[in-house]
Each structure stands twice: as C-alpha cells, then as structure tokens.
Amino acid sequence: MSFPRDFLWGAATSAYQIEGAVAREGRGASVWDHFCTRPGAVHRGESGAEACDHYARHADDVALMKEIGLQAYRFSIAWPRVLPEGTGAVNAAGLGFYDRLVDELLKAGVQPWVTLFHWDYPLALYRRGGWLNADSPKWFADYTRVVVEKLSDRVAHWITLNEPQCFIGLGHETGVHAPGDTLPLHQSLRAAHHALLAHGESIKVIRAHAKRPPKAGWAPTGDIPLPMTESAADVSAAREMYWAVTKPDVWNHAWWLLPVLEGRYPEEGLRLYGAAAPTFTAEEMATIAQPLDFLGLNIYNGFRCRRGANGRPERVAYGVGHPQTHNGWNVSPPALRWGPRFAHERSGLSIVITENGMAGHDWVADDGAVHDAHRIDYLRKYLRQLRWAVADGVPVQAYFAWSLMDNFEWAEGYRYRFGLVHVDYATQRRTLKDSARWYGEVIRTKGAVLGEFAGVAGRGMKKARRRRRAGREKEKDEENEGA
C-alpha cells in the first residue's frame, strides 16, 4: 500500500499569518488589522503586523522550502494588498510581490498553489456590508480576475475560499475572529450564501481567464466522524453524521459541500434552519455548483461514533488522557482516512489535503535544534491513515502540511506553533524542526518511510531496524484502534 506515483507533497501558509508588512507598498487594511486593535480580541493584543516578516524574507523562505524538499507550496494572496479598497484600483507593488514569489518558487522547483481568500477581507468592503452585501460575490470575482490575469501564465492550481465554516462561523456568528460580528442565524446564513456564490463566480473567472489550463477547487473544513469499528453499521453511522445538519449554526459539512457538489442545500438544513435559511434562485445554485477539478479538505480533528442501540448514530467520547495537541485538539489520525473517503464517495472528486498538522510545544533546544518528536509521530500516524484511504480506493492527489512555519494563529496570537520551521519572532531567525527534516525524508522516499522510519533523521539505521521489529505489531494495533 503506497501513495500514487505522482502524489504531491507540500506545505501551506496564509498571507496574514506570515507576511507582516501590513502598511508597506500600498497595502490596504483588512478586517484582521482592525480586529487586532480591539482590546481583548487577540491573545496578549498581538497581531499580524510583523508576523514572520515573510514579505521581506520570501526568497529565504523559498530557499527553506527547497532545503526541506517540498514539491508544492500553498499560499494565499492578501486581497487588500492587491486591491487596497477591495475593488477598483490595483496596487501594482502588492501584486508584484506575488509575481516575484511565484517566480522564486518555480526557480526552486516548488509548484505554487494559490488560495484567493484566507480570511483577510478588505476593511473597505466590510464597511460596505462585507459578505452581507449582495455585491460581494462580484467583488470577489473581480479580484479573482486581477490575480488570475497576473499569475495564471505560471500558476495552474487555484483554491477559492479557505475554511468558509470558520470565516463565517467564527467571524460572523460567534465573533471570536475578525470582523468580530455576532449576527443572528439568518444573517450568518445570508453571508454564507454570498460566500458560496463568490466561490462559484470565482471558479467561472478562473476558467474563463486562466492562461494555462487551470485546476481549481476550494478548501472547506470540519471535524470528521470516525467509526469505532469497521462494521458496516458503524461506518454508515459515521457517514450519516458526516452529512448531517443537526444544530442551528454553520458548523457542518453538508451546508457547504452539497451546494458546491450538487447544487442544492441539504433538506435537513433547510428544515432545521427554517425561516433563517436564505432565499435563493435556481440560477444561483447553478453558479455555486461549478465543476471542480479537486476537492480540498482541511482536516485536523475527528470524533468517534458508532451505531447506537436505538439504531441512531451516536458519539463516543475519548477516554481520559486521550492525547491532545498544544491547543487542545484531540489527536485523531483516522480523520485522514475517513474524511477523504466520505467526501470522495459522494462527490467522485479527487481529494487534496489542503491542510493538516498540529500545534506543538516547540522551542529551540540547547543544541540549537527543535526536537518536535510529537509532530513527527502525529504526521506519521495521520499520513498512514491517508495512505489507507488511498488503499481504500480514494484518489488523493496531494497533501499540504499546516504549516510551513510557525505563524500568527489568529485570535490565539503567537502562542501555538504549527510550523515545520520554527520562527523566533524577536529575531526572525528560522530553524528547521526535526519534523521538517523527517517530512523531507517522507517526500524523498515517496512515503516509503512512513511505516518504517523510527526516529528523526540521523539516527542509526540498525537501531531503527531493531525498533521497527519490536514495534511492528504495536503499529498494526495502533492503526486499527481508531484513534
């Protein structure tokens, strides 16, 4: 069981989380610049104003990608860097930055994957109603066109929206992310409808204006129901939960995926949301359901479930002491098996894991290295499960680790480190973590080391082989145990 020959290995970032330079060369303000000034909104009052200073250091960062051996890099474009007012005049310097970045990547042999929107919405457009404004899909389409016309002679892979559940759910429903609104459900769903339309309009623009044949998708997210056993009853229970809409909020898969994949909102959601559901036309639903080349999935977490005694799917809590990442997320590797499988079997689309990774308690050790053994273990376990999805018959094309480097983790500021590369924010010094070198080995061997690699790069192979022998049975158990 192995990954397809042409499988692509990459890492991902987003503009506001790494670029800094928020006031340089004509960039306009985003809702995140504004939100970060709100007292108590972000941990310790931090912001992305400097972040990883990637705007100035992008060439060095591309060199790090090359050193790791990345084949692809997924980054996002800051909409207000390109269009400071969100629409209208283009900021040539801002667009020029991405132009240079793409050239650097190609020179280094790293394939660029562009995300058009990763949450840094132009403040000027927010002041005109933001996602609630019926013009917002057109604004996004116009912005898409500017970027596509500039970069599509070299960029083939496009992702429209990153995690719509989050920028609507956290940004407009619970208010813990920018712009910090707590809208009633009917308004959140209206904003969500416009975001879905924006996705569809953007795909149309990509197809109409790309200079080379584009590959376009998007990148929703969500927790994955994990069947407790391989029994048909538990697997179907998990599948039902994956597609269910059970709460009056936007935290589910179906409300986002079914319009895009099938041109319809889920019946269950329409019933549950009732009068809060948006009005829509058949034409709008057709716009949303543009054909995609791949389905991006950002997957971190799963919860266990089974077919209950009453015949209904039920959650099964993790046991006391279940492993958690630094930010308290349950380590749940089978999410990378079942998430792609449930999404593919209904959509028929190829899957790209557009994000996966963990926050670790990482620091530079006495010897100058960052020994993030937990991240290696996490990635190895998740990637084995992804390989299992491939063995199950799911066409998985690519995997992007989140993240290339430690960065601004939104409302959590800088306290959680997701990077393969450690960033010392005081000096901007980068240090490749052990996981970066290990991931390089995964890439170099096309995943062959996943079942066998027993430690960080540089360990003696004999020792590794001894460990492997001893650990082989244990590994099998782990893979089967469901978490």
Distance in Å, CB of 1 to ligand IFM, minimum = 28
CB-neighbour burial class of residue 418 (10 A; exposed 0-12, middle 13-18, buried 19+) = buried
Which of 19, 46, 201, 355 is labelled catalytic? 355
Do 372 and 455 form a contact (C-beta atoms < 8 A)? Answer: no
Verify whether residue 46 is a known catalytic residue. Answer: no
Interaction between residue 163 and ligand IFM (CB under 6 A): yes
Distance in Å, CB of 403 to ligand IFM, minimum = 7
Give the CA distances from residue 244 to residues 240, 254, 259, in Å, rounded to whole numbers and listed in that order: 6, 6, 14
- Contacting ligand IFM (CB under 6 A), which of 30, 91, 298, 385? 298
Verify whether residue 355 is a known catalytic residue. Answer: yes
Do 288 and 192 form a contact (C-beta atoms < 8 A)? Answer: no
Total site size for ligand IFM, rule CB under 6 A? 8
d(CA 402, CA 465): 29
Interaction between residue 14 and ligand IFM (CB under 6 A): yes
Site string for ligand IFM, 429-448 (x = CB under 6 A): --------------------
If the CB atoms of residues 144 and 165 are measured against ligand IFM, the closer one turns out to be 165
d(CA 62, CA 422): 15
- Contacting ligand IFM (CB under 6 A), which of 104, 234, 355, 434? 355
Distance in Å, CB of 262 to ligand IFM, minimum = 25
Which of 104, 163, 173, 284 is labelled catalytic? 163
Residue 480: alpha-carbon gap to chain centroid: 26
Q: 4: which 2 tokens?
A: 């397809």
If the CB atoms of residues 104 and 163 are measured against ligand IFM, the closer one turns out to be 163
If the CB atoms of residues 223 and 284 are measured against ligand IFM, the closer one turns out to be 223
| Closest by CA position to 216, among listed 128, 296, 331, 324 | 296
Distance in Å, CB of 15 to ligand IFM, minimum = 10
If the CB atoms of residues 46 and 409 are measured against ligand IFM, the closer one turns out to be 409
Interaction between residue 19 and ligand IFM (CB under 6 A): no
Interaction between residue 409 and ligand IFM (CB under 6 A): yes
Binding site for ligand IFM (CB under 6 A): 14, 17, 163, 298, 355, 402, 409, 418
Cite the active site residues: 163, 355
